[in-house]
Chain A
Amino acid sequence: MNELTFYPLLSLLIAIPLGGAFLCVLSRRSSGLCRWLALLSSGAVLVLAGSLFRLPDQTGWLLREDYAWIDTLGARFTLGLDGVSLLMVLLTALLIVMAVLVSWRTISEKTALYFSLLLALEAGLMGVFLALDLFLFYICWEIMLIPAVILIVVWGEEGSLPAVFKFIFFTIGGSLLMLLSIISLYYLHGEQTGVFSFSLEALRLTKLSGSLELWIYLGFLLAFAVKIPLVPLHIWLPDTYCKAPTAITLLLSGVLAKTGIYGLYRFAFQLCPEAAAKSFAWLSIVALVTVFYAAWTAFGQSDIKRLLAYSSVSHLGFIVFGLSVSNRTAMEGSFLQMFSHGITMGAFFALTAMIEERIGDTRMERLGGLWGRAPLWSFFFLVVALSSLGLPGLNNFVGEILILAGAFQSLPWLGAVAVPSILLAALYILRLVRHVLWGVSPAGLIWTDVGRREIFILVPFLILMVWVGCWPQTFLDPLQQVAGLPFFEGAVALKGGVLP
């Protein structure tokens, strides 16, 4: 045993941001103090998350905590960490720090509320990525939405309410259906065994008839597909991304979208393995449609945030594609890609936030020729763009190639169809770069290059991009300890679910 495992680290991952949020509320008189409190607590979480990489290799859960909670229901406060959640926890911790830094200067009023909501969001996200009890998971899943929407409503652009309601209706609609699925599963499991429990390990042993499993699976799938999102459930996303303050957009695309994919893998697939295996054919096609459709639509956008929103959808579709081709290589690729995508999108939106800070909006026609004005900013922008279009040596390539290689192994035709996505990505990304960096600046564009704080935001992103691109092993190794995968694969194989 490592000395790390002695302490309730996982609970701390949730407790520290909550404590930070509380302290922020208490110190609402001084906005400077709030900022530093937020930075400190999110930084502490980041350090903690990073230190989890030092955990010893072992099968199953790297860390697990289990406390009694609502014993009448059988709900327990169970947290568990495996390779996938490790990456997600690290990503969340990192991006929250970045979001704090990004909003350092733009948020000057109601600072306490802002940062405490941000930290509450972090706690919710950590809960989602760590919960092994479905009741706990559901609670975190819904509760993380609340700080996010309030942040959008209060600090978002003018007229953000319709977008927010779209966001709410889609996500809550999906999650309420998931609640029904959870309830059904809970009830059936209780009836079968006499033990009422929400534990993931217990519930996945529930015996389900085919059609019932399908319905339950659909409930989960819908909730997650909205969050990811898959076409046509993505319709809430562009407006929400555009109206949200950019720091929140950073989190929405960097982390919140991942909760959907994470949930898909951790809960939907593992609780209903047979239905999942049956759905893979459809899911992979829907994912591919998402990839292409969103990329294509991204090409037609004239607002940077909107373009990035669609680009994010497209990339997320690709990750889902990797999960749904029932191949271990592709699956690991998807997990890595979840991390990479978070880094890239985080960096992209951090850069977009800097645009917004300078000129107040993000329409492409207001920009141009920035390389001449701000070479350093432009350099970062270019690198992030390259990462986004999957240049080898940068982060996105590794995940993409793993997904493609895996997909090609199990489904050559579908794999081949997926490949042109790299072309579409190049098309819209290059168009973006063309409009922002090259050409002549429009008249009256005032632009200062990045300052010290902004460099401090961007450099970690850059380092991580190169790190993942050149030494992905740091992040791929933990994925060897993906809990539940053997079970899932076994169930799929049992059913003959591996697709032709």
Chain B
Amino acid sequence: MTWTDFAGLVPVLILLGGAILILMAGAYRPHYRLFILAGISIALTACGVAVFSTSAVKEVSGIFRCGPYADFFMALWSLLGALTLGISFRYGEERKFAPGEYVALVLFSCVGMSFLSMASSLVGFFLGLEMISLNFYILTVFHRQSPEAPEAGMKYLLLGAVATGFLAFGIALIFAATGTLKLPEAMSGMVAGGQIVPLGLLAIAMFLVGVGFKLSLFPFHFWTPDVYQGAPAPVTGLLASGSKGAVWAAMVPLGAGLAGGLAEIVPLLKALALLTLATGVLCALVQDNIKRLLAFSSVSHMGYVLIAFLSGGLTGERAVIFYLVTYSIVVLGSFGVLACLSTPLGEPRALSDFKGLAYRSPFLAAALTIFLFSLAGIPLTAGFIGKFHIFYSAVRAGHTWMAIAGVIASLISMGYYLRLVFLVFQPRTDSPSPLAVCQPPGNIAVAFCSVLTLVIGIFPAPLLKFVAAILSP
């Protein structure tokens, strides 16, 4: 490892160093607002550096790769970190979050996401994933007085640990089968004569269980609603957007490495995608709690991404990355709205709490509407372009039935997204709403997300071009 190697990791190092500094400073002079602002500026600095960095090296220590792909995701996750801190501004203060730890943990998890996305070896993959997980175990229970926190924390930790066990065993088997942990080779090594070797199949099964847990694919999705419900809204936002997005970002090269062998597991992935989609939309349809609804919706969205993923090819990869970028922004934004609407007494729970929101906080209502439209895939939002690409990749790969399944799922999903939108616009006649009125600091992040959602929805060309560029080195 040389100094030039570090050059590729500068953004991550900024995050890391900043996080450590804040953690230490928190032990002496905790000041919530200051720390949050410091965290935001650290994250934004990292983001800026990532955007403008041009690393000379291709790989660091044989674990992380550098280049536009890595830079892009470092920038994205740093940005998400900054946004998460933004929406926690009032939320955490009201709940007396320990500032040093909170900011540091958020930044650490961004580091984890960055590592995961830039992993060029299964070691990096595992390290990144665990780094995210460990941070989120803590962040989930960060609001210790919350009645749901213990349950959510325990469920997440135990299930996460078991998933780690599967993942580790899977990686070990991959290593056993191929003798390497380097990414393209490890995957392509399992394919012999166009077929995956038996040990490889077992390895992939184990691996899929582990990854499926992180991505909340069926049947490993059970933790999702419970943890989403129990964790603080900003944390849930980051969990739903960044942690999943980073796993997908890491999966894309994996899938590409598997190349011909991918065809063999495509039927399995199709079945998983269908089941995931079905479970997500059906359960979301009958939810009455907004966070659980978003959780199941996130499950269904993972089904969509899986469709694009299994479709493969450049189109599929482009669809996956575009979708995860837009989805991250949207989902973080919607949890940002929830955070903004939280009072010291609690977060928004029942859907009926949202009734009449449009007339009390028009701005948040508009933002929420945009996010919900985007999740539903209604045009002029980023979600539509994302969904368009997913269906396009499916049709292109000949998986027309998957596209039709996606269409049906989208149709059912209108049921819950639009129900919420309607509630927002319906005049409230009965009791006063328990939701907070709109307050500025968090709004900036939410506004940013909503504007970005619209801009990408109307002018997706730059982002599409960029995604295409980072995929073809």
Residues 443-471 of B, flagged 1 when their CB comes within 8 A of A and 0 if not, give: 00000000000000001110011001000
Q: Report which of B380, B400, B426 forms a contact with A153, defined as CB distance below 8 A.
A: B426
Residues of B within 8 A of A292 (CB): none
A177–B407 contact, CB under 8 A? yes
A176–B427 contact, CB under 8 A? no
A180–B359 contact, CB under 8 A? no
Residues of B within 8 A of A414 (CB): none
Answer whether residue B63 sits at the interface, using C-beta atoms and an 8 A cutoff: no
Answer whether residue A70 sits at the interface, using C-beta atoms and an 8 A cutoff: yes
* Shortest Cβ distance from residue A259 to the other chain B in the assembled complex, whole angstroms: 15
Answer whether residue A485 sits at the interface, using C-beta atoms and an 8 A cutoff: no
A72–B461 contact, CB under 8 A? yes
Answer whether residue B48 sits at the interface, using C-beta atoms and an 8 A cutoff: no
Minimal Cβ-Cβ distance residue in A for B387: A179
* Shortest Cβ distance from residue B374 to the other chain A in the assembled complex, whole angstroms: 12
Residues of B within 8 A of A110 (CB): 359, 427
B427–A154 contact, CB under 8 A? yes
Q: B1-27: which have CB < 8 Å to A? A: none
Answer whether residue B392 sits at the interface, using C-beta atoms and an 8 A cutoff: yes
A169 CA to B410 CA in the complex, in Å?
10
Residues of A within 8 A of B384 (CB): 139, 142
Interface hit among B165-173, B208-216, B268-276, B411-419: B411-419
B422–A70 contact, CB under 8 A? no
Whether A72 touches B388, Cβ cut-off 8 Å, given contacts A143-B379, A176-B410, A184-B395, is no
Answer whether residue B421 sits at the interface, using C-beta atoms and an 8 A cutoff: yes
Residues 69-89 of A, flagged 1 when their CB comes within 8 A of B and 0 if not, give: 111110000000000000000
Residues of B within 8 A of A177 (CB): 404, 407
B403–A183 contact, CB under 8 A? yes
Q: A149-168: which have CB < 8 Å to B? A: 149-150, 153-154, 161, 164-165, 168
Residues of A within 8 A of B373 (CB): 146
Whether A143 touches B380, Cβ cut-off 8 Å, given contacts A71-B461, A179-B407, is yes
Answer whether residue A118 sits at the interface, using C-beta atoms and an 8 A cutoff: no
A173–B411 contact, CB under 8 A? yes
* Shortest Cβ distance from residue B394 to the other chain A in the assembled complex, whole angstroms: 9
A183–B465 contact, CB under 8 A? no
Answer whether residue B73 sits at the interface, using C-beta atoms and an 8 A cutoff: no
Residues of B within 8 A of A153 (CB): 422, 425-426
Q: A447-467: which have CB < 8 Å to B? A: none
Answer whether residue A138 sits at the interface, using C-beta atoms and an 8 A cutoff: yes
Answer whether residue B358 sits at the interface, using C-beta atoms and an 8 A cutoff: yes
Q: How many residues of B contact A (CB 8 A)?
A: 33
Chain A contact residues, majority secondary structure: helix
Residues of B within 8 A of A72 (CB): 460-461, 464-465, 468
Answer whether residue A438 sits at the interface, using C-beta atoms and an 8 A cutoff: no
Residues of A within 8 A of B422 (CB): 149-150, 153, 161, 164
Whether A169 touches B395, Cβ cut-off 8 Å, given contacts A70-B464, A139-B384, A143-B378, is no
Answer whether residue A224 sits at the interface, using C-beta atoms and an 8 A cutoff: no
Minimal Cβ-Cβ distance residue in B for A179: B391
* Shortest Cβ distance from residue B167 to the other chain A in the assembled complex, whole angstroms: 35
Q: Report which of A70, A142, A165, A183 forms a contact with B378, defined as CB distance below 8 A.
A: A142
Answer whether residue B29 sits at the interface, using C-beta atoms and an 8 A cutoff: no
A180–B388 contact, CB under 8 A? no
A69 CA to B421 CA in the complex, in Å?
29
Residues of B within 8 A of A154 (CB): 425-427
Answer whether residue A104 sits at the interface, using C-beta atoms and an 8 A cutoff: no
A143 CA to B370 CA in the complex, in Å?
12
Q: B136-182: which have CB < 8 Å to A? A: none
Answer whether residue B96 sits at the interface, using C-beta atoms and an 8 A cutoff: no
Q: A171-186: which have CB < 8 Å to B? A: 172-173, 176-177, 179-180, 183-184, 186
Residues of B within 8 A of A351 (CB): none
A402 CA to B425 CA in the complex, in Å?
45
Minimal Cβ-Cβ distance residue in A for B378: A142
B379–A138 contact, CB under 8 A? yes
A183 CA to B418 CA in the complex, in Å?
25
Residues 367-400 of B, flagged 1 when their CB comes within 8 A of A and 0 if not, give: 0000001000011100010001001100110001
Q: Report which of B395, B419, B461, B468 forms a contact with A187, defined as CB distance below 8 A.
A: B395
Q: A16-59: which have CB < 8 Å to B? A: none
Residues of A within 8 A of B392 (CB): 183, 186-187
Minimal Cβ-Cβ distance residue in A for B366: A25
A73 CA to B403 CA in the complex, in Å?
19
* Shortest Cβ distance from residue B67 to the other chain A in the assembled complex, whole angstroms: 21
A168 CA to B464 CA in the complex, in Å?
30
A51 CA to B422 CA in the complex, in Å?
38
Q: A120-155: which have CB < 8 Å to B? A: 138-139, 142-143, 146, 149-150, 153-154
Whether A180 touches B391, Cβ cut-off 8 Å, given contacts A70-B459, A70-B460, is yes
A150 CA to B358 CA in the complex, in Å?
12
A177 CA to B425 CA in the complex, in Å?
28
A113–B358 contact, CB under 8 A? yes
* Shortest Cβ distance from residue A30 to the other chain B in the assembled complex, whole angstroms: 16
B388–A179 contact, CB under 8 A? yes
Minimal Cβ-Cβ distance residue in B for A136: B379
Residues of A within 8 A of B414 (CB): 168-169, 172
* Shortest Cβ distance from residue A162 to the other chain B in the assembled complex, whole angstroms: 11
A180–B403 contact, CB under 8 A? yes
A113 CA to B358 CA in the complex, in Å?
10
Q: List 12 other contacts, CB 8 Å, given A161-B419, A173-B407, A180-B407.
A: A72-B460, A72-B464, A153-B426, A154-B426, A154-B427, A165-B418, A172-B414, A177-B404, A179-B388, A180-B403, A183-B388, A183-B395
Q: List 29 A-B contacts (CB under 8 A).
A: A70-B460, A72-B461, A110-B427, A139-B380, A139-B384, A142-B378, A143-B380, A149-B418, A150-B421, A150-B425, A153-B422, A154-B427, A161-B422, A164-B422, A165-B419, A168-B414, A169-B414, A172-B414, A173-B411, A179-B388, A179-B391, A180-B400, A180-B404, A183-B403, A184-B395, A184-B400, A186-B392, A187-B392, A187-B395
Please provide the 7 A-B residue pairs with the shortest distance between their CB atoms, ordered closest to farther: A139-B379, A72-B464, A176-B407, A153-B422, A70-B461, A142-B379, A173-B411
